[in-house]
Structure 1
């Protein structure tokens, strides 16, 4: 994820909401890949 003016907080660090969106995407993708399609 690029860190630029759209994802930085005023202090110049990556905004926590951007970190959580990335974490949720990774977790959702991982869960999808672990699902058994036969069930």
Structure 2
């Protein structure tokens, strides 16, 4: 499945507060292994 590739702490200011952004990644080979 997906894995965490990075975290941006308090990167986005929205609705009056800061929010973290989580960057996720999925490799094609991992996706193909899950389908098999």
Higher relative contact order (CA 8 A, sep 6+): 2
Whether TM exceeds 0.5 here: the answer is no
Q: Which has the higher strand share?
A: 2
Structure whose residues are more often helix by fraction? 1
Shorter-chain TM-score range: under 0.3
Could you state the TM-score of these two structures normalised by the residue count of structure 1?
0.25
| Structure-2-length-normalised TM-score | 0.25
